[in-house]
Every structure is written in structure tokens, then in C-alpha cells.
Amino acid sequence: MKMFFSLHCEINKSKTIRFKMKKKKSNLCYILISINLIGCWNKYRTRSSTGKPEVSKSIRYQTNMAETPALIWEHEVCSLLKYGELIPRLETALGKFSNRDSAEVIQPVRTTVPLQKHSGFLGVMPCYMENEGILCTKLVCFYKRPTGSTLPSTQATVMLLDPEYGNVKAIMDGDVITGMRTAAVSAISAKLLMCPDAEILTILGTGKQALSHYNVFTEVFSFKEVRVWSRSKDKAEAFAQSLGHHVTACESVEEAVRGADVIVTVTRSTVPVLSGQWVKPGAHVAAVGACRPDWRELDDTLMKQAVVYVDSREAAVTESGDIILSGAEVFAEMGEVINGTKPAHREKTTVFKSLGLGVEDAASAQLVFDKWKSKAM
Ligand SMILES: NC(=O)C1=CN([C@@H]2O[C@H](COP(=O)(O)OP(=O)(O)OC[C@H]3O[C@@H](n4cnc5c(N)ncnc54)[C@H](O)[C@@H]3O)[C@@H](O)[C@H]2O)C=CC1
Ligand SMILES: O=C(O)C1=NCCCC1
């Protein structure tokens, strides 16, 4: 085995020898690979019989045989991901993203494939963080569901890859990651942009994102009052009751947002639901829905009176109907505020338009994987 291996390396290293021995090399490589595979399989079998089906990295190097990817299910992601650890990782990731240094983050605007027959989209969200050795992609389907539909409006899967070998290291549930990282980023926006004495939180929408936003906002901040609104009063009441007695269900958007210091919009609406005329001057709005260029949650009045922050400038002018159709100017990325290169106008009415970034998924997935590995050891 040893003799064959060194010969193999020589051939790989020297282009001249490769060229001269071309015919021989391909035959030889064939034999070498076969022998390596047999060697590898023997090692694999030995380990399997001891209960640990893993191929060592050196064997993988010779054969390009990958370890079996870890499968991390929803309940595991749920038990591993905690806002206390997630928020600092996301702050770092957003700061790096806004540096536009390709060794830190390469993350294009997501590719979106229309699923016309099903009124939905497949979003492909890759991200490479070279300095941290993180290569990740999320696949997320999201839909415009009709009223009363019980089908999920978003479903996601996240894949972590080894950037050197190209194999998949882990496939994990993406729904909990999407719920938690989106809410955590909104909480970061509020930490930076809401008035320091904020007392009233309003959540418009009562779905998955509404719940994750309620969870993180009440974990990180101490609001005196929480209000929720849904198009159906019954739904708003059921949601409020599921959260506890201190949450008020409101009949109209206006009633829910008047006087609120922080407003979270997490609806599937494609037309404006929140009007600037109801928003208290100095309030902070975290706008999470309306992630298509022709979808809206916020009206022109609000978009024009607010200082607009985004997660990504490129994504904002490609994907956000609220920004594109209102003609509002983007003032800064959240990462620029984190880096101190743009100010946080806490005293003004602010909108954080969230679209969701692959870099947020990458940072979250790496955190899940690190914790999963340390638990498995
Ligand atoms: N910015 C980001 O990173 C992310 C954004 N999203 C978006 O956030 C929004 C909420 O997502 P989920 O909570 O997962 O969805 P969900 O389906 O669980 O909840 C949606 C809520 O919106 C309400 N709703 C539906 N149509 C409405 C309308 N026309 N007007 C007012 N309310 C309406 C529903 O009753 C429900 O309360 C979606 O638009 C989704 O695409 C989702 C994930 C990440
Ligand atoms: O970032 C995400 O994940 C999503 N963004 C907008 C639409 C649904 C998923």
C-alpha cells in the first residue's frame, strides 16, 4: 500500500511525468484508486464493526471518499440553538458581510426560481466564509398561500459543506434556523435602533415568525406591553392566549400600532398593511415579510418618513417591494451600524427591511454543527 501511495503522489505532483507517462498513468491510477478503495473499505468495515462508521481524513484524502453527512433534525436544532449564543454570532456575521471582503464573506443575492403552479418560489442561498472555513447553502421554498390554507408558507433545509473536499458535512432542518435567525436579526435591529426607553411592542401577524419574534423580543428586552394583530380577531386572541395573559389581541392594525415603540411586521401580505400615519415618530419597525419585488407590507408614507436600514443593499434593490416601489432611499446596512461606519438614528422613525441572508444561515448552521459535534463526542 505504502509503495503505491508514494507513487501516486509523485504522479500527481509532477506535470512532466504525467505528460510523459500519460497512458501508463491512467492505468496506474486506476489500479491505485482501486487498491486505495479496498484499503479504505477494509478500514471502514473495521470501524463499522466497532460501531463507529467513519472514514479517517487521511483515507478520504487518498480516495475522495466522504464521511457520511450528519443529519440534524428539527428537534435537535431546536435544543441546540439558543438566542444568547446566536445573537453575537449573527452580529459578527452581519458586520463581516458589510465589509465586502471576499475572504470574509462571499454571498450573492439569493437565486429565486418561481414555482408558478404552486404560487411559490425556491430560494437558493449559498455563502462561503473563507477565513472561518464555512461553506453553506440553504434551500428554501416560500409560498403565497390562500387564506385558510393549512400548508406551510416556508420550508427550508440547510447544508454545510467542507470547502476543501467539497463533501456535505451536515444536512439540517432549516425551519428552526430560519425562524430563529430572522427573529434574532430583527432583535439586533431593535437593540441598535429603538428608543432606549421602549415600552410597547406590536407584532402584526400570528404565524411562525410572529412566535419566534415574540420569543426573542421578550427574552432580550423588557416591554411593558405586547400587542398582537391578525386579520381574524379569533386568531389574534388564540395567539395572544397561547403566549400569556400579558399579551393583548387588537382588532385593527391602527389600534395595535398607535403609540407602539417597536413594530414587527411578519405577515404574508402582498399589499401594505402598515401605514406611516399610525406610526409614532421615533418608533422602530422591523419589516420581515414582503420579500418579493412586487410585494408590500409598508405604505409609501412610512417608507418616505423613515430612515431605512436593510440587511443587504443589493438584496433590497432586487427583492424588496417596499423599497423598490416606494422609491425610498436605503440609508445603511445593519452590518455598517454594527461596524460603526454608519450611525444608528434611534431618535428618528426607523425601518429595518429584512430579506434574510445566506450569511445568517451559514453562521447559524455552523453554531448548530459545532454544538452537535461537541454533544456527540
Ligand atoms: N426576512 C426574512 O428573513 C424572512 C421572511 N419571511 C417572510 O415572513 C413572512 C411570515 O412568515 P411566516 O411567519 O413563516 O408565515 P406564516 O404563514 O406562518 O404566518 C403568516 C401570517 O401572516 C398572516 N397573513 C397572511 N396573509 C395576510 C394578509 N394578506 N394580510 C395580513 N396578514 C396576512 C397569516 O394569517 C399569518 O398570521 C412571510 O412573508 C415570509 O415569506 C420568512 C422567513 C424569513
Ligand atoms: O431568508 C429566508 O429564509 C427567507 N426569506 C424570505 C422568504 C422566505 C425565506
| Average pLDDT for 168-189 | 98
**Looking at residue 65, what is its pLDDT?**
52
Pocket of ligand 2 (CB under 6 A): 123, 140, 142, 154, 156, 178, 291, 356
Burial degree of 60 (CB within 10 A; 0-12, 13-18, 19+): middle
Please state the atom number of ligand 1 nearest to the C-alpha of residue 152.
17
Burial degree of 166 (CB within 10 A; 0-12, 13-18, 19+): exposed
Whether residue 222 is predicted with pLDDT greater than 90 in this model: the reply is yes
Instruction: Give the C-alpha separation, 77 to 61, whole Å.
Output: 30
At 58 the three-state DSSP class reads: helix
Please state the atom number of ligand 2 nearest to the C-alpha of residue 154.
8
Whether residue 148 is predicted with pLDDT greater than 50 in this model: the reply is yes
From the CA of 289, the nearest ligand is 1
Q: Is the ipTM of this complex over 0.95?
A: yes
**pLDDT for 244-264, tens place per residue?**
879 999 999 999 999 999 999
Q: Which of 199, 349, 203, 334 is nearest to 264 (CA)?
A: 203
Q: Which amino acid is at 12?
A: N
Q: Are residues 204 and 273 in contact, defined by beta-carbon separation less than 8 angstroms?
A: yes
Which of 94, 141, 144, 154 is the best mutation target for the ligand 2 pocket, counting ligand atoms within 8 Å of the beta carbon and taking the most?
154
Q: Are residues 294 and 283 in contact, defined by beta-carbon separation less than 8 angstroms?
A: no
From the CA of 208, the nearest ligand is 1
Q: Are residues 170 and 159 in contact, defined by beta-carbon separation less than 8 angstroms?
A: yes
Helix axes 22-49, 2-13, angle to 10 degrees: 130
Please state the atom number of ligand 1 nearest to the C-alpha of residue 268.
39
Q: Using CA positions, which residue lies closest to atom 2 of ligand 2?
A: 356
Residue whose grid cell is 393583548: 248
| Average pLDDT for 21-35 | 32
| Average pLDDT for 216-235 | 97
**207 CA from centroid of ligand 1 (Å):** 6
More confident residue, 10 or 87: 87
Alpha helices in the chain (DSSP H): 2-13, 15-20, 22-49, 57-63, 74-80, 83-99, 175-193, 208-220, 233-243, 253-257, 300-305, 313-319, 321-326, 334-339, 358-376
Q: What does the block give as the cell for 7? A: 507513487
**289 CA from centroid of ligand 2 (Å):** 9
Q: Are residues 291 and 142 in contact, defined by beta-carbon separation less than 8 angstroms?
A: yes
DSSP state for residue 106 in the 8-state scheme: B
**pLDDT for 108-144, tens place per residue?**
999 999 999 999 999 999 999 999 999 999 999 999 9
Whether residue 24 is predicted with pLDDT greater than 50 in this model: the reply is no
Q: In the chain, what's the furthest Cα-to-Cα distance? A: 81
Contacts of 50 (CB under 8 A, 6+ apart): none
Instruction: Give the C-alpha separation, 73 to 214, whole Å.
Output: 23
Specify which residues 154 forms β-bridges with. Answer: 142
Q: Which of 163, 248, 260 is nearest to 206 (CA)?
A: 248
Hey, how many other C-beta atoms are within 10 angstroms of the C-beta on 364? 29
Domains, the chain, ordered by start: 4-68 (no CATH), 72-176+360-376 (3.30.1780.10), 179-356 (3.40.50.720)
**290 CA from centroid of ligand 1 (Å):** 8
Instruction: Give the C-alpha separation, 372 to 377, whole Å.
Output: 9
End-to-end CA distance of the chain: 31
> What is the pLDDT confidence band of residue 66, given thresholds at 50, 70 and 90?
low
From the CA of 213, the nearest ligand is 1
